Structure 1
Amino acid sequence: MPTDRARPVRWLLMAGHVPQDLRGGGIVRYTVELARALQRRDDVELHLLTSQQAAGSLAELTGSEERIVRLPARVPDPLVPAFERSLLSRTLASRFDVVQGAKHLLPRSVAARTVLTVHDMLLFDRPADFPLPKRTLLRRPYAGALRQAGTLLCVSAATRTRLTQWAPELAARTAVVPLATSPQLLSSAATPVDGLACKTFGLVVGDSSPRKNLAVAVSAWAQVIEQRPDAVLALVGPPAWGVEAYGPDHARLVASGHVVQLTGVDDGTLRWCYENAAVVLAPSLAEGFGLPAVEALDLGAPLITSLDPALVEVSGSDADHLRADDVPAWADAVLRHLSAPRPTRDRQPRTWDDVAAETVAAVSST
C-alpha cells in the first residue's frame, strides 16, 4: 500500500469474468458489489479489468472510461485465464498500487501489492465437480496465485482453515472478510411467483451440481408430503452447467407438482421466495461461504443447513444444523417448520461497505 496519503490507492479489481449485464453466480455478484463499495470510498481510486463486451457497463461502476483496462479482443474466452496469469503484467506495468484477483488468478510478476479473494478450495477438494478443461487448466495457476498473493482474503474462517491446511505457510498472509447480502436483493420490490403464491412451500437456492446435495432435500420432501400433501418444494438456481444430481424422487415430485423449478429469477422474485418460504434448506456438502443461508436469515426465513463448517459459521444459532445424509431428520425438521410461525429476528444485515472497509484494512495490515 502506498504511504502517500495525498492521493487514494490506485486499485485494480480483476473483473474479466463479469458479463455485460453484470449478472451471474456468486463470484460475479461478489465482484460487482465489491466494486461498487470500493468506488464509494475516498481512499480508493477504483479501476477494473474487463472484457471488451462488458467494458461499457463496468465503466459506470468506476465513473470513468479511463479507469477501465480492457482484455484484448483477440484473446478467446478459454485462453483468458492464461493471458491474465502470464501476459497481463506487461499491460499493467507499474500503474497500480493494488491488483486484486476476484476469481482464482493473479498476473504473475506484477509491480503492485497483490490480493487474491479465496472463495473456496473446491478445485483441490472436489475436482470432479468441475468440467475437465477447467480442473485441468486452472488448478496449477490457482495454486500459483495463492502462493504469490501478498494478501489472501478468505470469505469465511472455514475457508481460511481449509487454505492453511493445504499450505500452512500462507497463514500469516490470510484475513477473513465475510460476504454480505446484495443491496439489490434487499431493496428490490418483491415479485410473487404465481405457482407458489397461495401455497406452503420450502425453498432451496443454488445450482444442481452434486456438491449442493439437492437429492437429500428432494428425498426429504417425498417424506414430508406423506403428512403435508399441500407442501411444495421450490428449487431456485441457474441453468445447469455440468453434472446434475436431483436424486431418485425428483421426476415423480416434479410430475405431481410437489417440486417446482425456477431458473434465472430476478432479485424481486428471489426476495419474495425468501420472504414467503415456510423454510429454507441449505443441504450442501461443501461451501466456501454459503450466501443463500445469509440471504435467508437477512430476509427473515427459517433455515436448516447441513453441518458444513462454512454454513454453520454464517448461520450460527439462527438455523437448525443436520447431517447432510440424514433424510428422515431433514423431513422431520421441515415438518416442524411447516407447522410453526416464522421467527422474529432483530438482525442488522452486514453491508458491502463493511466488506470493502475490511478488505482495505486487511490489505493495509498484511
Structure 2
Amino acid sequence: MKTTLTFPIHKTKNSKLPETDFSNLVFGRTISDHMFVADYKNGEWTDLSVEEYKPLELNPANATLHYGQSIFEGMKAYRTSDGKISVFRGDANWARLNESAERMCMPTLPEEIFMEGLMQLLELDRDWVPTANGASLYVRPFMFATDDYIGVKPSETYKFMIFTCPVGMYYSKPVSVKVETKFTRATEGGTGYAKTAGNYAASLYPALQAQKAGYDQLLWTDGKNHSQIEESGTMNVMFKINGKLITAPTHTGTILKGITRDSVIQLAKDWGEPLEERFLGIKELEEALKSGDLEEAFGTGTAATIAHIERIHVNGTDYYLPEKGSDAFSNRVLRELDGIKYGELPDPHGWIIKI
C-alpha cells in the first residue's frame, strides 16, 4: 500500500550486528537494533517513531501489569533469492491484531500506521534478515495498556510497538504431543480467538507438566467435555485420515485464526485436496491411530510453519506415526509455502509484500 505517513527515525550509533552469531540463533533471544513505537492518547494515535531498541520505563501501577490488557502478533520477513526482503501476509496480521484489540477493549490501529511502521523498521534493519536456509526475521507487533491507575476498567492510553529478531527453525525435529483432558485453554464466550497474553499465561502450567513427561506440546480439547481436539499450544493442528484433511473450525471463538492455517487450507483447495473444517473427536483420533488410518498429523503456525507430529499420547497410550515421505501433503505444503516466502515460487494469492 502507498502512504504519505512520515515520522522520525532515530538510528542507533552502536549496532549489535558485528557481535551477532547468525550461525547460532536461539529463537527469540537475539533482538535487532531498532523498534517502532506509537502511543494512543486523547483518542488518537500519536508520537510515531523508530527508535533504538532499549528497555521501557513502566510505572508500578501500569494497568497491563495488573489487569492484562496486552495483545500481540507474530510474523516473519525473509531474504529472497534475489537478495530482497519479503513479508508474508502482513495485512492479515494487522487485521487479526485489530480483532484481538476489539475483544480486549483496546483501540484499533490504522492500517497505514501498522504497515508503514513495519516497512520503515524492516528497511532500517534489513541487514538483520538472515541469509541461511530456513532462517528468517521474526517480527513481533504488540500493544499494551499504559494507564498508571489501579482499577478494573479499560485503560485510556496504550502503546503499540514492533521489534524484530533473527531466528532459525522453531522445531528442528518432529514433535511429540499429549492430548489434554483436564486443563482448559479456552471456552466459548472467552478470549480464545484473541492473541492476548492471558491465553498463553493460562497454558503454561499444563504445558510444563507435559514437557516434564517428555512431550513437546499439548493437544488442547474443548472446555465443555474434553471430547474433541481444538488446537496445539503454539499452533493450529491438522490431521489427514484416509486421504482427507481435518482441522478444527474457528467459528466457536475458542481457536486462534491462524494465518498459516488459512494459507494451508487455501493451498489444499487449490490442489483439490479433500478437506473438512470440523472438530475431530478424541475417540475418532484414537481409532484412526489404532487402525493406521491416520496418515499425517502436523501443526501450522508462524514460528514453526509446518511442525510434523511423530507421537501422540491419548488415554494413557503413546502412538507413533509413520515417517513422512517427500510426497506427503505436509511436506508438499511446506515446500510450497517456503518457495513463496523466499521468492522461488509464484505468489498467486498476493501473500507477499516486498521491500
When normalised by structure 1's length, the TM-score is 0.32
When normalised by structure 2's length, the TM-score is 0.33
Q: Which has the higher strand share?
A: 2
Q: Which has the higher helix share?
A: 1
